[in-house]
Copies of this chain bind each other. A is one copy, B any other.
Amino acid sequence: MTWLVTGGAGYIGSHVVRAFAADGIDVVVIDDLSSGKPEFLVEGVPFVEANLLDSAATRKALEGVSGVVHLAGYKYAGVSVEKPMHTYTQNISAMVSLLNEMAAAGVANIVFSSSAGVYGTPKDEVVTEQTAPDPQSPYGETKQVGEWLLADQAKAVPLNYTALRYFNVVGSGDPKVYDASPYNLFPIVCNLLTQGKIPQIYGTDHPTPDGTSIKDYVHVADLARAHVAAARALDSGKTLEPVYNLGSGTGTSVREIMDAARRVTGIDFTPTEGPRRPGDPSRVVASGELAARDLEWKNTHTVDEMFASAWEAWPKG
């Protein structure tokens, strides 16, 4: 059993590769290093440096593989608004090319990295897989379209698939691997604290107990395990649901995260406060019932553990 991990040099991809290796599954990585980092690659894992739009390289990477975890893509939801065509090329044209090459190679299993971004700003406080998709950015749209591509392709060629809709992925399972995104809360806080600056809270008048917005955070190492469970299920011929939410089922407010950051780092700070950002929902929490049922999966880390692992891995000067 060998699986290909696209985007395997990225923050999440690197954890997925580690989780597969830890479970005794051979892995190959393809990544163009546009946002992935060479130092996130796992030693001994075969690596093809290429973009999925390079069909020949993809074909080579698929040799001897029984399934694919597809994480490669343009991942910055907010900035995707400024680069919609780039986002579609990297996330849709590349996935079409991958699915074509998989069909040609007879590789019939795929676990797709989707996102809570498909829900946009959900009206439901507890988001289930039945909550209507309503993507609000090119990034969110491409994740929705990626799910359509899978369902469509499965009607045309043999394909077992599932899509995992990640909520906010944080923390680290390896001291060398961290979320380097300049747009996510945990790295923003780590970065500011490292520089001796004070993090800011945007929006303190939400209708929540402490006034700050509540989101659902999952530890990246837990998230990675869900991919192993999905891959093993598909590889053994089991049919999975087309989509699973991966969330903790618990909401954490921005203020609670700041409190965790203070406890974990020992840096005594009081966040500055600014106005709400447009479109930021007050409370979004995932229902993780389906993933618990079919993948025997749940988030196992507390917020303090999540922040501590992020902080430990964060490069400090």
Copies of this chain, complex-wide, total 2
Q: How far is the CB of A296 from chain B (nearest CB, A)?
A: 32
Q: When A81-B152, A88-B149, A149-B88 are in contact, do A96 and B96 touch as well, CB less than 8 Å? A: no
Say whether A156 contacts B92, CB under 8 Å.
no
Report A224-245 CB contacts with B as 1/0, cut-off 8 Å. 0000000000000000000000
Say whether B148 contacts A83, CB under 8 Å.
no
Q: When A88-B92, A88-B149, A149-B88 are in contact, do A155 and B100 touch as well, CB less than 8 Å? A: no
How far does the alpha carbon of A85 sit from the alpha carbon of B96 in the complex, in Å? 6
How far does the alpha carbon of A153 sit from the alpha carbon of B2 in the complex, in Å? 39
Q: How far is the CB of A141 from chain B (nearest CB, A)?
A: 5
When distances are taken between beta carbons in the complex, the residues of chain B under 8 Å from A13 are none
Which of A88, A89, A155 counts the most chain B CB atoms within 10 A? A88
Closest to A155 in B: B81
Which residue of B99, B145, B153 is within 8 Å of A145 (Cβ)? B145
When distances are taken between beta carbons in the complex, the residues of chain B under 8 Å from A81 are 152, 155-156
Since A85-B103, A85-B149 are in contact, a sample of 18 more A-B pairs with Cβ atoms closer than 8 Å, ordered by chain A residue number, is A81-B152, A81-B155, A81-B156, A82-B156, A84-B155, A84-B156, A85-B99, A85-B100, A85-B153, A85-B156, A88-B96, A89-B96, A92-B93, A92-B145, A93-B93, A138-B148, A141-B148, A141-B152
